[in-house]
Amino acid sequence: MKYTESISNVIEQDKAEKISRLIDQSSRILITTHLSPDGDALGSSLAFGHYLSRKGKNVRIIVPNSFPYFLKWMPGSDNILIYEYNKGAGQSIIENTDLIFSLDYNIPKRVGEMAGFIEKSQAKKVLIDHHLEPGKIYDAVVSHPEIASTSEIIFRLLMQWGEYEKMTFEEAECIYCGMMTDTGGFTYNSNDPEIYEIISLLLRKKIDKDRIYSKVYNNYTEDRFRLLGFTLSQRMKIYPELHSALIWLSKEDQSQFKFSKGDTEGFVNYPLSIRNILFSTFIREDDALVKMSFRSQGSFPCNQFASEFFHGGGHRNASGGEFYGSFEDAVKLFEESLFSYAEQLKNRDI
């Protein structure tokens, strides 16, 4: 039996073929991903970029803003254009490309300022993503909210194109990193047996999964590690009746620990380790806004909470949003919103 036979074809064949044709017809291809790119955004973009380069395409990857230091080891990450530092070059690439891939986000708004240029561009547009409610501007849409990561969708697409044998070590590393980070190291959203069939296929490409784990998760600076300790001991409030927790960090708190991009990534998950806590929120004061992150266990819909109160969205168990106003008002609105969900949150089976 071929190793690859255990993976089912989830992407409709006609879509896979259409995207393949669009690629064949294009020579300059642009890959874009969402604001504050995470492991899956970068993993899917870099893996797909490596694949397209291998096919002889002229490929660029643009991300709206910078990404955390613990993802900078990813092969190809040095060649990513960061739009906020290089807007002119970014706009010119968007205007002069034949095909644009939008990976790991559902609507143009999720790339911030770049959105308008992408919408205006004459290029063909393809969405490959796993968020709900895909946008309507695309020539082809591969949208699978039931799949844990966009990187997994990229793997499946390459497999459906018969590309597994030729898949490189770099492509496999990037795909693995995205699958790992969007499931918290395979601790949530990760009960689909095929995930492990795919991991086994990636290991056959000689990736070192233990090393990838360490590079992402065991790579704290001392300041970052102390910031985590400070947050959990000094900036956490528990709402026992509501099975909820809040952690927060003001600008001042962050500067005390020499905050740098990505330092608080993953913090929001920690309160879920507390017995009976099923909903966790992290409020972080940023430069021009207050950033909200939500995580839940079970059926509590973080994405609904984020979109109802904080202009956001995401997945049922992991979502985010924004608040425009003072940090104190963000905390106040959060508590009011939390109490408005009291009935649902009191119920232990949420």
DSSP string, 213-239: HHHHHS---HHHHHHHHHHHHHSEEEE
Written as one string, the DSSP assignment of 261-279 is TTTTTTGGGGGGGSTT--E
- Figure out which of the listed residues 33, 102, 104, 318 binds Mn ion, where binding follows CB under 5 A: 104
For position 312 contacting ligand 5GP by CB under 6 A, the verdict is: yes
Comparing CA positions, the residue from 111, 32, 38, 33 lying closest to residue 264 is 38
The reply on whether position 314 binds ligand 5GP by CB under 6 A is yes
Task: Give the CB-nearest residue to Mn ion.
Answer: 40
Tell me the C-alpha distance between 143 and 44, whole Å: 14
In the numeric block, which tokens belong to residue 292?
A: 């909200």
Among 182, 263, 265, 285, interactor with Mn ion by CB under 5 A: 182
Does 156 participate in binding ligand 5GP (rule CB under 6 A)? Answer: no
Q: Pattern 110-149, binding to Mn ion, x per CB under 5 A?
A: ----------------------------------------
Nearest-approach distance from CB 200 to ligand 5GP, in angstroms: 26
| Region from 25-33, 76-84, 213-221, 314-322 binding ligand 5GP, contact rule CB under 6 A | 314-322
Smallest distance, ligand 5GP to C-beta of residue 267, A: 10
CA distance linking residue 76 with residue 105, whole number of Å: 20
* From 100-108, 204-212, 284-292, 306-314, span contacting Mn ion (CB under 5 A): 100-108
Residue number with CB closer to Mn ion (62 or 345): 62
Question: Toward Mn ion, which CB reaches closer, 175 or 345?
Answer: 175
Stretch that binds ligand 5GP, among 121-129, 223-231, 242-250, 313-321 (CB under 6 A): 313-321
How far is it, in rounded angstroms, from Cα 42 to Cα 174? 8
Q: Smallest Cα–Cα separation from 179: which of 37, 42, 11? A: 42
Give CA–CA dist 102/31, Å, rounded.
Answer: 6
CB atoms within 10 A of CB 133: 12
Q: Give me the helices (H) in 66-122, please.
A: 87-95, 115-120
Residue with smaller CB distance to ligand 5GP, 164 or 327: 327
36: left (phi over 0), alpha (psi -120 to 50) or beta: left
First to last CA, the chain: 42
With contacts defined by CB under 5 A, name the span among 25-33, 65-73, 175-183, 214-222 that binds Mn ion: 175-183
As given in the structure block, the two tokens for residue 114 are 């770049």
**Does residue 108 contact residue 134 with C-beta atoms inside 8 Å?**
no
Stretch that binds ligand 5GP, among 93-101, 138-146, 234-242, 307-315 (CB under 6 A): 307-315
Residue 195 structure tokens: 């995930």
Q: Which of 99, 318, 331, 345 binds ligand 5GP (CB under 6 A)?
A: 318
Interface positions, 16-55, toward Mn ion (CB under 5 A): 40
Give the shortest CB-63-to-ligand 5GP separation in angstroms: 14
Q: Per-residue x/- mask for Mn ion, residues 283 to 322, rule CB under 5 A?
A: ----------------------------------------
* Site residues (vs Mn ion, CB under 5 A): 40, 104, 150, 182
Report the interface residues with ligand 5GP, using CB under 6 A: 131, 268, 293, 312-315, 318-322
